[in-house]
């Protein structure tokens, strides 16, 4: 894999934590829900009030794109946004190219919207996003009648000629992907008749939850093989509804693992999303012996939330089944750090989806650990991590490949490694977790900013 960093790279040298982490924090709003809130609010009639919106660069790109498509999208205070939508099928052709920055979620979901509107649009992104494959959404969305033109391998920039009267889709996902599922469902909103999506394994269902929240008719059926079929009735009358965005469990993963690994740590993270299809990491860490307690469970905006109390723990190796991967696909790099610190061997089964993230996250996670003295192996689609029993050597240089989750994972590894860890770039952390380094320092991490 070739090395890439941002034009204004922010390297970081992380040394072992000198004191226990302690305190109470709240992590930024859920990124997946934030993207969808802006998109659905733009497709609904009336004004939607969104609170807790993640204001990372990825989500701000979605806000700009929906504004370019004719919706009124405005920030009133930090995390407090109002969106005046135009209704299903009524977005307008953008005057310029839509730049989605680093966000694969935004690009793939928006493809479904653009394919089902009678207009021509062009999408691009930063150097990292332009390397990521879009063919996995282009192929099913072509069934609507929309046409796509992209670079070799289905890579951005991509031109979409959408249809005002798209055909409804009946699509079975070859591999579990919430992004592809959501793109198909978004295309189905403006199609006459029923859109059907079958997924081999249940993936995060924020799209289905938010469709219902705004008034769409969505039916979900379990399959005998353990998958799900989602049925959406086209041309619903989506009506503005307020949205409360919970804290992102994928963002909470980093302070959680840091608190588990740094001796004597004791922290609380409030109002974290507990969607059952997103909590695979929490379950896995508890299986490893984590003192991770969930309290004050409640429902906000159609999503389950709760507070997390985390204390330093002695972790042991674990085998994670492949069917858990969709519920924690973004958390494998930080779980790999926990496994590296644990006693014994861990095996993460069926993690092929990691190869098509912001970077080839599987190869990059292996490099992150190997460069810091941790033995790993990739066996088929499984990642094997040989735990060091609280003795990660460290001393390596981590190439993040413009991937925010790799940068944050490396920062946590540095807090417990025996020798300092050099991270080539932390600039991209802001795409998903603005203020991460400062928030960790409020707990006592001691990152040298």
DSSP conformation letters of 149-168: EEETTTEEEEEEE--SSPPP
Query: Annotated binding residue at 286?
Result: no
Among 57, 50, 51, 54, residue whose Cα is nearest residue 72: 50
Q: What is the rounded radius of gyration, in angstroms, for the C-alpha atoms of the chain?
A: 21
Tokens for 243?
A: 């949205």
CA distance linking residue 268 with residue 256, whole number of Å? 9
CA distance linking residue 98 with residue 55, whole number of Å? 18
Q: What are phi and psi of 392, to 5 degrees?
A: -70, 120
Classify residue 69 by its DSSP letter: T
Query: Annotated binding residue at 355?
Result: no
Among 427, 443, 262, 268, residue whose Cα is nearest residue 338: 262
Query: Annotated binding residue at 32?
Result: yes
Query: Annotated binding residue at 317?
Result: no
Query: Annotated binding residue at 108?
Result: no
Classify residue 299 by its DSSP letter: E
Give residue 363's Cα distance to chain centre: 18
Query: Annotated binding residue at 31?
Result: yes
Residue 248 known to be catalytic: no
Query: Annotated binding residue at 405?
Result: yes
CA distance linking residue 180 with residue 186, whole number of Å? 10
Contact 189, 234 (CB under 8 A): yes
| b/e burial code for range 379-404 (CB count within 10 A of at least 16 → b) | eebbbbbbbbeeebebebebbbbbbb
DSSP conformation letters of 85-100: EE-TT-----SS-EE-
Q: Of the listed 330, 403, 425, 430, which one is catalytic?
A: 330
Known binding positions: 31-32, 36, 104, 132, 177, 179, 330, 357, 361, 405
The residues carrying an active-site annotation are 330
Known binding positions for 3-phosphoshikimate: 31-32, 36, 177, 179, 330, 357
């Amino acid at each position: 894999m070739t090395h890439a960093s941002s034009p204004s790279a922010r390297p970081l040298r992380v040394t072992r934590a000198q004191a226990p982490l302690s305190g109470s924090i709240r992590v930024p709003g859920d990124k997946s829900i934030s993207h969808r809130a802006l998109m659905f609010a733009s497709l609904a009639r009336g004004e939607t009030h969104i609170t807790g919106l993640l204001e990372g660069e990825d989500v701000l790109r979605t806000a700009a794109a929906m504004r370019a498509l004719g919706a009124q999208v405005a920030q009133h205070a930090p995390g407090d946004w109002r969106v005046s939508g135009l209704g299903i099928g009524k977005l307008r052709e953008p005057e310029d190219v839509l730049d989605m920055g680093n966000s694969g979620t935004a690009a793939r979901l928006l493809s479904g919207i653009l394919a089902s509107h009678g207009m021509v649009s062009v999408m691009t992104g930063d150097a990292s996003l332009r390397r990521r494959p879009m063919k996995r959404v282009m192929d099913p969305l072509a069934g609507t009648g929309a046409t796509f033109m992209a670079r070799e391998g289905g890579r951005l920039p991509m031109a979409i000629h959408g249809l005002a009267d798209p055909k409804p889709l009946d699509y079975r996902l070859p591999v579990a992907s919430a992004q592809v599922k959501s793109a198909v469902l978004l295309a189905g909103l403006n199609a006459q008749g029923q859109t059907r999506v079958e997924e081999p394994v249940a993936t995060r269902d924020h799209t289905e939850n938010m469709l219902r929240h705004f008034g769409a008719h969505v039916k979900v059926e379990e399959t005998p093989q353990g998958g799900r079929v989602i049925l959406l009735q086209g041309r619903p009358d989506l009506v503005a509804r307020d949205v409360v965005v919970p804290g992102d469990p994928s963002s909470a993963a980093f302070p959680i693992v840091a608190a588990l690994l740094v001796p004597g740590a004791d922290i609380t993270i409030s109002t974290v999303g507990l969607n059952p299809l997103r909590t695979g990491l929490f379950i896995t860490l508890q299986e490893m012996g984590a003192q991770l307690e969930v309290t004050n469970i409640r429902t906000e905006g159609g999503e389950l939330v709760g507070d997390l109390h985390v204390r330093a723990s002695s972790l042991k190796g674990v085998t994670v089944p492949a069917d858990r991967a969709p519920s924690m696909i973004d958390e494998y790099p930080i779980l790999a750090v926990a496994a590296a610190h644990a006693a014994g061997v861990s095996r993460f089964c069926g993690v092929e989806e990691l190869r098509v993230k912001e970077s080839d996250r599987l190869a990059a996670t292996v490099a992150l650990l190997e460069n810091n003295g941790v033995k790993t192996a990739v066996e088929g689609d499984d990642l094997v991590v040989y735990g060091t029993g609280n003795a990660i050597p460290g001393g390596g240089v981590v190439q993040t490949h413009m991937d925010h989750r790799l940068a944050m994972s490396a920062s946590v590894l540095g807090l417990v490694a025996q020798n300092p860890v050099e991270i080539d770039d932390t600039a991209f952390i802001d795409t998903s977790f603005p203020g991460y380094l400062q928030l960790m320092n409020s707990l006592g991490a001691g990152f040298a900013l």
